[in-house]
């Protein structure tokens, strides 16, 4: 999530509908993030800080991995998202995770952590290096710093699904027009180096599907719905052109007619141990 000064500029908004979108996103890419957390060596007994935790997907996943003796602290500025995260933790009977309202770039930790993690967080920062440095200070020597960020230009359809490609262009244009870097995942090694961290180890996975009842179309349409005010504000596309209420169905129909394979949420993960 954005820092306090930039909170109102979070592209996707902070509505209940956006929180539902985040939950859908978390469910669709949970395996991708679990693979990343496993690769970096998250294990029982660790104390973990999850920054920009939103509705809690990554924090809850980490909490299950560090149980029973480990602890996770998730921080975010969105109070409504944190309420949802706390409710989800209670439903899942995960008692080793706490959620705190804080700007992670100004967060004052009450102790050191074995790992700091984040997913699709640096994407929303005007200065990802500064943001990363602000939380790396709370990781003990030998601890883990790991972030999973998008590499949006790797998204694709094959054979080409015209409506899907058009929607992806809308999304990419919004990121660029907002002064952010949709390919920040690819830059993670340079961001790590800029604050004096060792060259990280990398992972790369994305969500790919070809089934006619794929939830990917709903997810893409849901993302457009959250972004629609910004899309119109920036003059990228009008709501009349988007027709958001029927967008998922039209995407699914075109994909089925063409027998297309679509790939979304390309995520590049980078992690290292703090010197």
| Architecture, CATH, for domain 4-273 | 3-Layer(aba) Sandwich (3.40)
Confidence of residue 5 (pLDDT cuts 50, 70, 90): very low
pLDDT one-digit tens code per residue, 190-228: 999 999 999 999 999 999 999 877 899 999 999 999 999
Percent of the chain with pLDDT over 90: 84
d(CA 78, CA 99): 11
pLDDT one-digit tens code per residue, 19-72: 888 899 999 999 999 999 999 999 999 999 999 999 999 999 999 999 999 999
Q: Parse the chain into domains and list their residue ranges.
A: 4-273
CA dihedral (195, 39, 269, 97) positive or negative: negative
pLDDT one-digit tens code per residue, 117-127: 999 999 999 89
Does residue 248 contact residue 195 with C-beta atoms inside 8 Å? no
DSSP per-residue codes, 151-210: -GGG-EEES--HHHHHHHHHHHHHHHHTT--TTGGGGHHHHHHHTTPPPPEEEEEEEEE-
Both tokens assigned to 191 = 């961001």
Lowest model confidence (mean pLDDT) among 11-25, 63-77, 80-94: 11-25
Name every residue whose Cβ is closer than 8 Å to that of residue 64 and which is 6 or more positions away in sequence: 92, 94
* SS3 label, residue 270: strand
Rounded to an integer, the average pLDDT of 71-75 is 98
More confident residue, 243 or 212: 243
């Amino acid at each position: 999530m954005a820092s306090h000064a930039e909170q109102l500029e979070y592209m996707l908004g902070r509505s209940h509908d956006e929180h539902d979108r985040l939950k859908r996103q978390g469910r669709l890419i949970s395996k991708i993030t679990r693979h990343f957390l496993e690769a970096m060596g998250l294990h029982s007994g660790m104390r973990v800080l999850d920054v920009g935790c939103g509705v809690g997907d990554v924090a809850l996943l980490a909490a299950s991995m560090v149980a029973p003796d480990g602890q996770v602290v998730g921080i975010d500025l969105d109070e409504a998202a944190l309420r949802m995260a706390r409710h989800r933790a209670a439903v899942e009977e995960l008692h080793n995770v706490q959620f705190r309202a804080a700007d992670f770039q100004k967060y004052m930790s009450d102790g050191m952590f074995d790992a700091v993690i984040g997913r699709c967080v640096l994407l929303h920062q005007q200065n990802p290096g500064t943001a990363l440095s602000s939380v790396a200070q709370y990781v003990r020597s030998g601890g883990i710093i790991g972030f999973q960020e998008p590499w949006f230009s790797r998204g694709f359809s094959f054979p080409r699904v015209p409506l899907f490609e058009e929607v992806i262009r809308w999304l990419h244009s919004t990121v660029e027009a907002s002064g952010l870097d949709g390919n920040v995942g690819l830059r993670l090694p340079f961001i790590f180096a800029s604050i004096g961290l060792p060259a990280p180890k990398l992972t790369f996975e994305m969500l790919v599907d070809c089934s006619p009842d794929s939830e990917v179309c709903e997810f893409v349409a849901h993302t457009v719905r959250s972004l629609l005010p910004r899309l119109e504000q920036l003059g990228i596309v009008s709501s009349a052109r988007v027709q958001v209420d029927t967008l998922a169905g039209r995407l699914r129909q075109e994909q089925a007619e063409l027998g297309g394979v679509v790939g979304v949420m390309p995520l590049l993960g980078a992690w290292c141990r703090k010197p």
